[in-house]
Structure 1
Amino acid sequence: MLKEFKAFIDKGTLVQLAVAFIMGITFAAVVTSLVNDVIMPAVGLGLGGVDFNNLYAVIKEAPGGPLADGTTLEAAREAGAVVISYGVFVNAIIVFIIVALVLFFIVKAYSKTQKPAEVTTRDCPFCKSAVPLEATRCPQCTSELPPVTS
């Protein structure tokens, strides 16, 4: 069993998957930092000094009473208020959009490098079942098939 496991790992697929997984995690961390530390502060500054990480809506007040204006998200949570952190959610959406766009362009570029699959079958003109290109008779409906022309 250990030999089978070693053979499985030696195929390279598992190693490639592990490397891709680790690169994906690190890429997500880089994009998260880009959004939180570069993009959103610039957007917040452009919107009059808004800190998106501290944008929230209070659903239930803290046991000690209403929160003062300008209370940070962390302080509101520590005070016991129930909040919806929509600023953090906006950051997460922007991270998702950036990751999705980058993955889209990677997959698109990769697809251009791949050859189209070689055609090995054709459809029978009578019953529409898949038939090998070299076949002269359909195995499903037994109709005679015209020869394939290149």
Structure 2
Amino acid sequence: MLKDFRAFIARGNVLDLAVGVIIGGAFATITKSLTDDIIMPIVGAIFGGFDFSSYFVKLGPVPANYTGSLTSYAQLKAAGVPLFGYGEFITVVINFIILAFIVFLLMRSVNRVIAAAEREKKEGTAEPAAEPAEVALLREIRDELRAGAGTRTPPPLV
């Protein structure tokens, strides 16, 4: 069983998938930072607040022993207050749209490169296959015989 598992892991598709997952995780971190640190502050400024995640609605009472801020989504959520956090949801949706758009641009570029390579392959003039040496030799003999037959005088009749 260990041998089969090793063969499965060593296959190219599994390794490609592993690399894709690792790069995807790193790419998701970059996209999250882009969203949280660059785009969302601009969107927040347009809509009246710098922290978009602070948009929420309390759906239940705040515990009596709660001493944190009543405007902090993270603190209220940690205290167990039921919240409708539409700001966080909007942040995640924007993050997804950005990530999907970047993947779209990457795939579009890859598809263009593949299409250009296929078009170049179709348009490329393939050199004809070299004829075998025997055929070339027979052709030379035939041509020599033809050329020599017209200039040769027939043998004398006895």
For 1:109, the equivalent position in structure 2 comes to 109
> Identical aligned pairs, as a percentage?
35
CA RMSD of aligned residues (A): 2.8
CA distance in 2, matches of 1:108, 1:70: 46
CA distance in 2, matches of 1:53, 1:34: 15
CA distance in 1, matches of 2:85, 2:29: 20
- Counterpart residue type for residue 24 of structure 2: G
CA distance in 2, matches of 1:10, 1:77: 44
For 1:130, the equivalent position in structure 2 comes to none
Query: Which entry has the higher C-alpha Rg, 1 or 2?
Result: 2
CA distance in 1, matches of 2:77, 2:38: 25
The 8 Å contact of residues 70 and 76 in structure 2, kept in 1 or not, is answered as no
CA distance in 2, matches of 1:37, 1:55: 17
Distance 1:22 1:58, change over 3 A: same
CA apart distance, 1:47: 3.1
For 2:20, the equivalent position in structure 1 comes to 20
CA-to-aligned-CA distance 1:98-126 (integer Å, 9 cap, x gap): 1111111222222231549xxxxxxxxxx
| Unaligned ranges ≥5, structure 1 | 117-150
Matched, 1:93 2:93: yes
For 1:34, the equivalent position in structure 2 comes to 34
CA apart distance, 1:42: 2.1
CA distance in 2, matches of 1:83, 1:49: 19
Matched, 1:10 2:28: no
| Unaligned ranges ≥5, structure 2 | 120-158
For 1:60, the equivalent position in structure 2 comes to 60
TM, length-normalised to structure 1: 0.63
For 2:48, the equivalent position in structure 1 comes to 48
Q: Which has the higher strand share?
A: 1
TM, length-normalised to structure 2: 0.61
Q: Which has the higher helix share?
A: 2
CA distance in 2, matches of 1:64, 1:10: 58
CA apart distance, 1:16: 1.0
The 8 Å contact of residues 55 and 86 in structure 1, kept in 2 or not, is answered as yes
The 8 Å contact of residues 8 and 14 in structure 1, kept in 2 or not, is answered as yes
